[in-house]
Structure 1
Amino acid sequence: MMLQFESVVATGSAALDSGIRDTALKTLNGATYLYSLTGPGGGVAVWKLVDGAVPQLVDTEYFSGSITFQVGSIGTPVSFGGGNQLVLDIDTANGLVGYDLNADGTVGSLRETGTLTGGGDISALVKLSTGSGDLLMMAHEDTGRIVTYTVNGDGTLTSSGVIVARSDSMQSLSIGADNFVIAADGASNTVSTYRVDGGTAAIAVVDNSEVLTTLGIAAPTAVEVIQAYGKSWVVVAGAESNSLSVMELAADGRLIPTDHVLDSLQTRFESVQDLSVVEVNGHVFVVAGGGDDGITLFAMTPGGQLVHLDSFADTLQSGLQNVESFGVARVGDELQILVASQQDAGLTQLTVDVADLGVVRSGLETVNGTVGNDILSGNILPTTLIGGAGDDILIAGSAATTMTGGSGADIFVMQYGAETTTITDFQAGIDRLDTFDYPLLRTPGQLTFTVTAQGARIEYFNETIFVNSASGGPLTSAQVFGAGFGGPDHIPVDFGDFGGLDPGSSDGVLGDVSINSETANPSLSDAEISFTPNGGATITVRADSNGRFDLNLPSGTFEGEFDVIKTYSTASKDINALDALQVLRISVGLDPTWGPASPENLIAADFNRDGSVNALDALSILQVAVGQPTAVPPGWVFIDSDADLSGITRTDVSYDTGANVVAVDGLIATDMTSILLGNLEAP
């Protein structure tokens, strides 16, 4: 899919065409209008978007009276109180100031609604719909507060909740009965998550600081949200980090990173200033632009990863120097992108043809596409993907995946940690092999590339790709990758993926534990969780500090092996010299001080996991107790609670970790016994 330059449109008035600070979209009576706003001494231009044509200018409005030189940099269309308004940022206003929007998109009267707690100097605004009515949430620049306002029946506003914070970009999502607001502020370099109570409108902070710090978003300039692929998503643009970050928003407000990309020589979102996320027929597209004189287009996969589709660089005709703001809307069979720049007058129109979009589909065994542009994904079991006609995106699963793109310009997306992937019909110079998920891979020279009679074999760490040529002959690296990788640089969102996860060290829970993939699990805090479906590939994730984990399993029923790896936290001091004494007693045939050892005691006593309890186990436990390193690090083992442990003796400590489970529509629930090796507890 390509970005196509169409035209530059302008009103002919310098006050409306130059220095456009914001653009905003609003759909009224089935028609989509774009509102472009300039600063003090300027005004508003209204453009109607037309399928297959340039936008039509339908109205202009110059700022006048008391707002002429007090208007700020934002204009936000919002529906409340039975009407539609284009809300403005007015520095000296006491209330909410905005233009009425007429049914034909034109600008009506200027009005001021009530008196606001923080005045009308608004840097961001979102509307929330709750079971008890509508709320407006505003960031007040002068007071440094974010306030919720209840919209009364007569359209007036009543302050409901307040928090000390700043924001210049806010977006909202509803998940069940909860409302969440993601707020970014470039000046304070913060991205915040708020839960807004639907009844009281009170604002509560959801702490996502650890995740956001790890991503390294600098000077966030825009945030967008969307609900797609059965999940809620947040995308954040960072101007100083030249980055786009994709995160899943969980039902409890946690942000779970899925991708983080940096601008490169092949993309156009350095110093990114604006961002848009749109859904068309089940496909999600992300558009970004900024100080790099151009626009970049991505497709977002069901797993929350960005696949680079195209980047359009400024030309003498297009006027995209230092992109400031843009709006993206589907109009008929195309995406229309109207872009305002800091240096060029008017609006640049780019389009993307979306007439031939196909399906977004994942499945088992064989997944077939259509004659359109499909997104097909592999799975946790061996899968064959058949794109058919169209420009398809085929995404490898964690298990062995065979891909046939068919005709069209196809993109084959690899996944790190997957089993062998085979491409059956690679068309040199037409298709693209995308290996962005491979960590630290920046050039084709890092790959082990072997030419074969049918195409090529490509290896990276433990990853193997067989690329068979559509023409049946050998393929060179230049035929597969051209001059090098295109698209942005992808930064890992979980550095534990390098060579396997390193399970975190934290306190645990001894004894019988119930584990559920939909809840917090104190026994699993910071642990490595794995699930291996019968006949499929192992999926491994890290649990958070509350023991929550998401294996991102597909719908359906899968039997397999569930296991946990968790290291020991020395801060807990659960292993001490008395444990070493108990093990020493067992090693010479004596009972622990409390009586006969249980099978669980014997498992805990076999610290070195060599199948017997002996003096070396006692020595290792003593080393742990005094803070010395050991040949085998201390850790936890998790055993099926129904496992038969009756045969375990001092000289034969034989057991299997993990449990056989049945995953149903992504849910795993099982009972296990949690044992800390080296820690002996009386029954």
Structure 2
Amino acid sequence: MAGKTLEFLGRISSGEEAFDVDIRDLDLHATAQGLRLYASTGINGGVASYGLSGNGATLMGLSQHGGSATLASGQAAILPGMGCLVQAGAGLGGVMQQGITAQGAAGQMSALALPGIGTTVRLVAGATLQGGPSLLVTAGSNGTLESWRLNANGSATKAGASFDHPDARALAITDSGVLLVADANLGGLASYRINAKTGALSAADQIGIEDGLPVAGPSVLEVVQAYGQSWAVLGAGQSGSLTVLRLNDRGQMQMVDHLSDTLETRFGQITALELVQVKGRVLVLAGGGDGGLSLLELLPDGRLLHRAAMENEPGQDLAAISAITAAQVGDQLEIYVASQDGAGLARLGYELGDFAGRGSRGTAGDDLLIGARTLSGGAGDDVLVSGSSGGDLTGGAGADLFMPGVMDRPGQDRVVIRDFTIGEDEIDLSAFVSLRSLAGLTAQSRSDGILLTHNDQRILVQSHNGQALELDDIWPAGLGSPHRWLAGETYPCDTVYGSAEGDQLAGTASADIFDGQDGDDRIDGGAGNDQIFGGFGADSLIGGSGNDALLGGLGDDQLSGGAGADTLSGELGEDWLSGGEGGDLLNGDAGNDRLFGEAGSDRLFGGDGNDLLSGGSDNDQLFGGYGNDLLRGNAGNDQLFGGAGNDRLLGLVGNDLLKDIHGDNILMGGGGQDRLQSGRGEDVLKGGAGDDLLVARGGADRLFGGSGRDTLKAGLGDDVLNGGNGADRLLGGAGRDELLGGRGNDILRGGGGADVFVFTRGHGQDRIQDFRPGTDQLDLSDLNQRYGDLEISRAGNATLIDTGAGEIQLNGLRPWQLDADDFLF
């Protein structure tokens, strides 16, 4: 499986806008007729059900939300044992329910009466109690977490006490009866034991940012029972991270792994998460506002291994993912993805082939080998994971992935990879938390391979053909793995707290934790991987060298990451964030913030407010969020996403991607071969220099190609396309579009709607591929011509019009089909 990739297989839809737009949740349910997929939409929507097979999904039915009901959040649930889909909603008493037959047919939507709960429920989760009754756990808009026992007569009885969780973001229940709550205020998870007989909740444990959990903005949560253990995977949108926690039956939690997103992975600004078990192994799918999604595997020791990533391409609509679900169908993992920037669902596939189980000896299949010092894969695309005492790893035939572990005795033990094949096998060094790039490796070429050293950890890589190896042979495009940080490091037992006044605090050469509390503080972490919390006041936080986490708190703060892969969150206030050197993650959060990525491939998220985001010198990703934002890519091949609000996106230097979703925006590519895509508002797109691609979506957009050989595509609205200089291609859409090729020999196609083709002085020799007399029109008003002045002749299977300033060729038409009404003078 090392060489396998995620594959885009197309899109599916119901054909009804109410069921295809604003899809907020996807649920799978096994029925007598096979797997059923239920897609729940938001305001004025409903539920579309699909039957799944190896050939894709077939629409089975549509069910409209009743009355004023709407889906209030991104969470719904199938209640075990009841054949019922429940949804968090607004109106109809706060929770909606829909019966599902044994064959998978969905019934009418109705209210589920939960006495005293109010009219809005944000989150739901379901379980089965001892003896068969179902349990429903809800988190309401009033901030309360409550448990409900569902009776056979359809009524519900509140079970036990309520708990306060006004900032709950996700719920999940383990097979052993532990409820987990992802809480934004806590910056982590709270756990509750569920009484197996009554359904009452009792507090068990909590872990958050004050406990050293490196999480900001927890947003999604899933649980799984695997390898004889309960696991939770927590996704956090602000920190762009995935965190794995181990749970026991009493609800106690322990963090075992933490990954931060990079430019090579696709789980930044995560909003959707799915765990799938295949032959005893666990695959993880994660995505959000990162222009794609990532596939990972949860290993038996709790580590996450990044397997594949898919970057969003035009037509896939994977830029703003809202929900993911997946299941094994035959020899393929069928993946369905909903997004806020597309209608319907994207269908993806991941070939499972000879996917095999785990063990210490290889088979003919695709094995996961772990737990022995000597591992041999044999045939198949295997994963070989060495332990703390080093290891001897032989992949055998197939595209294998080697994952050396950190050794307890560096300088004594080593990992030996016996048969690395260039262009086929892979090596994942993400276990070494301080290794961020190839510059952190010492490489010594040998006649039969290469010796790699990092902090006295030695890995000998021998080639399968006995030839010498270079770093570029193994990692031609860099390490490419997510950053595994904080896991495995030792932190001080105590947090250094500031006072109610303005403090000046300085860290040590190791990893420090600071909490400035009240006052205008200045905190310098120094060397090491530090965690600094500003608290109240206008604080100045300096990470220094190392991979630091800085959170401003309440007030107008200044955060400077310094060298290293840092995470900066402004939180409340009008903040100034500077990433410094290294691949950093910057979150402005609430307020009108200023974010500067500077050196390194950075990721910037504006959050709420009118923000300024500036990428810096490398290949950066910028996300505007809510508010009227200004995004500047600067140097490098950058990706800019506008978000909500009326934004300005400036690619400037490099081959940039600029994309917007909401609002009336201005997108300017600048130099380079840029890709610009509008959203649902009335946008202005300007390609600038270079051969650019400009794509309109909804709204009446205006597209300007600039210099270069540009391609302009209209969308659903009445758009204006202006090619500018160069030989351009202008493609109209569904509306009444205006197409002006400009200077150069252009190709124009109007598409649907009554279009107007505009020609000005110096327009060149242009071709219109689909002119429709009596519907479309040629605008020659800039040329001071009259109909009788034109020279109109036949040229093969086309009509040629000499305007005196250039020529217009109308493909597929004869001169007699035209008259003066087809022109505007």
Q: Normalising by structure 1, report the TM-score.
A: 0.68
Q: Which runs of 5+ in 1 are unaligned?
A: 362-366, 506-683
Cα displacement (A) at 1:465: 0.9
Matched-pair contact (CA < 8 Å) for 2:31–2:104: yes
Match of 1:640 in 2: none
The structure 2 residue matched to 1:409, chosen from 391, 399, 409, is 399
Matched, 1:377 2:370: yes
Cα displacement (A) at 1:503: 9.2
Cα displacement (A) at 1:258: 1.6
Cα displacement (A) at 1:448: 1.1
Structure 2 letter corresponding to 1:125 = V
Partner SS for 2:174: strand
Match of 2:207 in 1: 209
Flag the 1:407–1:475 CA change in 2: closer, same or farther, 3 A: same
Partner SS for 2:15: coil
Structure 2 letter corresponding to 1:163 = F
Matched-pair contact (CA < 8 Å) for 1:222–1:236: yes
Cα displacement (A) at 1:74: 4.3
Match of 2:361 in 1: 368
Matched-pair contact (CA < 8 Å) for 1:424–1:468: yes
Match of 2:76 in 1: 76
Match of 1:280 in 2: 278
Instruction: Describe how 1:59-70 pairs up with structure 2 within 5 A.
Output: 59-67=61-69, 70=70
Flag the 1:103–1:132 CA change in 2: closer, same or farther, 3 A: closer
Match of 1:45 in 2: 48
Q: Deviations over 1:400-440 (max 9, x none)?
A: 31000011111110111253111110111211111111121
Q: Distance in 2 between matches of 1:83 and 1:307?
A: 36
Structure 1 letter corresponding to 2:392 = T
The structure 2 residue matched to 1:27, chosen from 26, 30, 33, is 30
Most deviating of 19-28 and 228-237:
19-28
Matched, 1:355 2:348: no
Matched-pair contact (CA < 8 Å) for 1:290–1:322: yes
Cα displacement (A) at 1:95: 6.5
Flag the 1:111–1:136 CA change in 2: closer, same or farther, 3 A: same
Matched, 1:464 2:463: no
Matched, 1:58 2:60: yes
Cα displacement (A) at 1:73: 3.1
Matched-pair contact (CA < 8 Å) for 1:395–1:414: yes
Cα displacement (A) at 1:206: 2.3
Flag the 1:133–1:402 CA change in 2: closer, same or farther, 3 A: same
Most deviating of 123-132 and 412-421:
123-132
Match of 1:534 in 2: none
Flag the 1:116–1:353 CA change in 2: closer, same or farther, 3 A: farther
Matched, 1:98 2:88: no
Matched-pair contact (CA < 8 Å) for 2:76–2:88: no
Q: Distance in 2 between matches of 1:79 and 1:445?
A: 51
Cα displacement (A) at 1:132: 4.8
Q: Distance in 2 between matches of 1:153 and 1:317?
A: 47
Partner SS for 1:371: coil
Q: Deviations over 1:425-477 (max 9, x none)?
A: 01112111111111210111111110011111111112111111101011111
Q: Distance in 2 between matches of 1:221 and 1:400?
A: 37
Q: Deviations over 1:647-679 (max 9, x none)?
A: xxxxxxxxxxxxxxxxxxxxxxxxxxxxxxxxx
Q: Distance in 2 between matches of 1:115 and 1:503?
A: 45
Q: Deviations over 1:210-248 (max 9, x none)?
A: 577412211111100001111110000000010011111
Structure 1 letter corresponding to 2:173 = S
Matched, 1:481 2:475: yes
Partner SS for 2:490: helix
Flag the 1:212–1:266 CA change in 2: closer, same or farther, 3 A: farther
Cα displacement (A) at 1:353: 1.4
Matched, 1:264 2:262: yes
Q: Percent identity?
A: 30
Flag the 1:94–1:324 CA change in 2: closer, same or farther, 3 A: closer
Matched-pair contact (CA < 8 Å) for 1:263–1:488: yes
Cα displacement (A) at 1:19: 1.7
Flag the 1:450–1:294 CA change in 2: closer, same or farther, 3 A: same
Flag the 1:184–1:485 CA change in 2: closer, same or farther, 3 A: same
What is the RMSD computed on CA atoms of the aligned residues? 2.2
Structure 2 letter corresponding to 1:98 = Q
Q: Distance in 2 between matches of 1:394 and 1:483?
A: 22
Flag the 1:273–1:432 CA change in 2: closer, same or farther, 3 A: same
Cα displacement (A) at 1:117: 3.3
Q: Determine which structure has the larger helix proportion and give its number.
A: 1
Partner SS for 1:16: helix
Flag the 1:494–1:220 CA change in 2: closer, same or farther, 3 A: same
The structure 1 residue matched to 2:489, chosen from 482, 490, 495, is 495
Cα displacement (A) at 1:496: 1.8
Q: Distance in 1 between matches of 2:236 and 2:319?
A: 19
Q: Which runs of 5+ in 2 are unaligned?
A: 496-825
Matched-pair contact (CA < 8 Å) for 1:76–1:86: yes
4+ long deviations beyond 6 Å: 502-505
Matched-pair contact (CA < 8 Å) for 1:401–1:422: yes
Structure 1 letter corresponding to 2:86 = V
Flag the 1:116–1:334 CA change in 2: closer, same or farther, 3 A: farther
Matched-pair contact (CA < 8 Å) for 1:8–1:319: no
Match of 1:598 in 2: none
Q: Distance in 2 between matches of 1:158 and 1:426?
A: 61
Partner SS for 1:168: strand
Flag the 1:388–1:46 CA change in 2: closer, same or farther, 3 A: same
Cα displacement (A) at 1:91: 1.8
Match of 2:449 in 1: 455
Q: Distance in 2 between matches of 1:329 and 1:120?
A: 34
Matched-pair contact (CA < 8 Å) for 2:363–2:378: yes
Flag the 1:79–1:422 CA change in 2: closer, same or farther, 3 A: same
Q: Distance in 2 between matches of 1:29 and 1:232?
A: 29
The structure whose RCO (Cα within 8 Å, separation 6+) is larger is 1
Match of 2:736 in 1: none
Matched-pair contact (CA < 8 Å) for 2:73–2:89: no
Q: Distance in 2 between matches of 1:158 and 1:449?
A: 66
Matched-pair contact (CA < 8 Å) for 2:391–2:415: yes
Partner SS for 1:472: coil
Structure 2 letter corresponding to 1:138 = V
Most deviating of 27-36 and 276-285:
27-36
Q: Distance in 1 between matches of 2:94 and 2:321?
A: 31
Q: Distance in 2 between matches of 1:154 and 1:131?
A: 18
Structure 1 letter corresponding to 2:21 = S
Q: Distance in 1 between matches of 2:227 and 2:21?
A: 39
Partner SS for 2:93: coil
Instruction: Describe how 1:445-594 pairs up with structure 2 within 5 A.
Output: 445-496=439-490
Q: Normalising by structure 2, report the TM-score.
A: 0.56
Q: Distance in 1 between matches of 2:95 and 2:312?
A: 38
Structure 2 letter corresponding to 1:45 = A
Partner SS for 1:153: coil
Cα displacement (A) at 1:10: 1.3
Matched, 1:163 2:163: yes
Matched-pair contact (CA < 8 Å) for 1:93–1:119: no
Q: Distance in 1 between matches of 2:252 and 2:394?
A: 37
Flag the 1:303–1:477 CA change in 2: closer, same or farther, 3 A: same
Structure 2 letter corresponding to 1:287 = L
Q: Distance in 1 between matches of 2:252 and 2:158?
A: 27
Instruction: Describe how 1:191-206 pairs up with structure 2 within 5 A.
Output: 191-206=189-204
Partner SS for 2:133: strand
Q: Distance in 1 between matches of 2:159 and 2:337?
A: 37
Matched, 1:301 2:299: yes
Match of 2:139 in 1: 140
Matched-pair contact (CA < 8 Å) for 1:133–1:151: no
Flag the 1:332–1:187 CA change in 2: closer, same or farther, 3 A: farther
Matched-pair contact (CA < 8 Å) for 2:188–2:207: no
Match of 2:436 in 1: 442
Matched-pair contact (CA < 8 Å) for 1:211–1:255: no
Number of aligned residues: 486
Cα displacement (A) at 1:332: 2.0
Matched, 1:247 2:245: yes
